[in-house]
Amino acid sequence: MSSELTLKQRIAAGPVLCGPSLVGMSPAVVECAGLAGCDFVWIEVEHSGIDMMQLEHMCRAAELHDVLPLARVADGSRPSVLRTLEAGAKIVLVPQIHTPEQAAAVAEYGKFPPLGKRGYNTGSRGLGYGALAPTPAEVFETANRETVLMVQIESVQAFQNVEAIAAVEGVDGLFFGPGDMSADMGIAAQWDNEELIGVGERVIQVARANDKIASSTCPTDEMARRWKAAGVNMLIAGGDLGLLRLALVDKLQQIREL
């Protein structure tokens, strides 16, 4: 077995990684994120029109700029998880995971034996077109070591099951989704609500206690501070189109006030 640190271990070793959520369907957006100094990019497949070919090109751009490509898939189905890994995403984030059984299915679809039952195809882009390792056994080991599977904790049911979900072998990380969680709690977008923040802190703490990566987004500076104090490993630093809109609003105001 390899003595190298896994991707999960390298992320967990710190410092906190930061990157944007991207819905723009261009590798140029990924390149700009890399040139800005981002550690990773969140390629948003669930809430955008990004297709598999666009995802593949965006993963290429990320790798060229030494940025980790993270893709949030549309759902936890086998095709969503498998095809995203085959396209070259290093981190696959699966939304709407509420039970340990659902989390176990993600591990089954996304990890090779002995951790899962990922489909056998050593010639995909995600596996280096067959050049990742010289033997199938080494391909399996390298792929399992160099990819990360994360599941989203974004419902009251998921929070009730968070300990069991965090214990699932093959799941490498937990992502706390404050948006959907706040809606499910009946306090939608109340980012300063102490109950919501407490839930997020608990998810992060459970992840770290179970040797998992902890990640989240931070709509407010206070939330970012609380997540970092709780031990978060990865933080989403805004979204491409939202940041573009705000920058344009500021620039237009400056011009109109001249």
For residue 134 the two structure tokens come to: 């010289």
* pLDDT for residue 3: 58
Helix axes 221-230, 194-209, angle to 10 degrees: 30
Active site residue 98: no
pTM of the model: 0.95
For residue 190 the two structure tokens come to: 């109340």
DSSP the chain: ---SPPHHHHHHTSS-EEEEEE-S--HHHHHHHHHTT-SEEEEE-TTS---HHHHHHHHHHHHHTT-EEEEE-SSSSHHHHHHHHHHT-SEEEE----SHHHHHHHHHHHS-TTT------TTSGGGGGGTS-SSHHHHHHHHHHH-EEEEEE-SHHHHHTHHHHHT-TT--EEEE-HHHHHHHTT-TT-TT-HHHHHHHHHHHHHHHHTT-EEEEE-SSHHHHHHHHHHT-SEEEEEEHHHHHHHHHHHHHHHHHT-
* pLDDT for residue 122: 87
Distances (CA, A) of 89 to 158, 208, 234: 25, 23, 16
What residue has token string 């979204």? Answer: 239
Distances (CA, A) of 166 to 11, 26, 81, 177: 17, 34, 19, 15
| CB proximity list for 201: less than 8 A, separation 6 or greater | 226, 227, 230
Catalytic residue among 47, 57, 65, 98: 47
* pLDDT for residue 1: 46
Class of domain 7-256: alpha beta
Buried-exposed string 181-197: b where 16+ CB fall within 10 A, e elsewhere = bbebbeeeeeeeeeebb
CA atoms within 13 A on the CB side of 119: 14
Per-residue pLDDT of the chain (258 residues; tens, 9 = 90+): 455 899 999 999 999 999 999 999 999 999 999 999 999 999 999 999 999 999 999 999 999 999 999 999 999 999 999 999 999 999 999 999 999 999 999 999 999 999 999 999 888 999 999 999 999 999 999 999 999 999 999 999 999 999 999 999 999 999 999 999 999 999 999 999 999 999 999 999 999 999 999 999 999 999 999 999 999 999 999 999 999 999 999 999 999 999
What is the rounded radius of gyration, in angstroms, for the C-alpha atoms of the chain? 18
Domain ranges of the chain: 7-256
